[in-house]
Amino acid sequence: MDLTIIPALTVAYEKTNDSFSGFGAELFFDLGSIDEYFSGHRNKFVITPYYRFYFTKSEDFGSKGFFAEVFSKFAFGESQSFLLNGLGIDTYETDNYFDIAPGFAVGNKWINRKGFTFELLFGLGRNLLYNNESEGSGRSTVVVRGGFSIGKRF
C-alpha cells in the first residue's frame, strides 16, 4: 500500500512456530527524497523484526486471529531542522540518523481458505537514541507502528 501513497515499498515475512506463535521481519524502503513531500524527518530504510503471540485456537492454518506482538524497529533516515540565522531568513539543516525503537503492538489476522491474508495492526514504541535537542526536526521519542496488509501464505 505504500506505493499508492508515497514512493516506498514494504516487504514482510512471517514464520509460524505453531498455532499460537510466529516470528518475522518487515523491511521498508523509501524510494523518494525528503524534499518531495515535506520538511521534517523521513525513514529511508527500516527493518522491524517481531515475535507474535496468537490467542485464537485454530486447527487448520494456525497463526491467525487476535495477536500481541513485541518488536524492535531499526531505522535509518534523514531529518531536516529549521535554523534561524538572525537575519529573519529560515534555512534547513539536513542530518542522517539511526535509531532503535523497541515496542508492543496488537492486531488481528484473517486467512481465507486459499491462504490469502488480511491484517490490521497498531502499536507503540520508543526511540532509544533520539536526542530532542534539535527542535523543528519533526522527530519524536514515540514510534507508531500501524497499518494494514494483504498477503499470501505459502
In terms of residue numbers, what domain contains 127? 2-152
Q: What SS3 state is found at 3?
A: helix
What's the domain count of the chain?
A: 1
CA 92/CA 82 separation, integer angstroms: 5
Using a CB cutoff of 8 Å and minimum separation of 24, what contacts does 2-5 make? 2/28
Using one digit for the tens of pLDDT, what is the confidence trace for 5-23? 667 888 999 998 887 899 9
Lowest mean pLDDT among 19-28, 32-41, 95-104: 32-41
pLDDT digits 0-9 by tens, 79-105? 776 666 666 666 667 778 899 999 999
Cα–Cα distance measured from residue 46 to residue 100, given in angstroms and rounded to the nearest whole number:
10
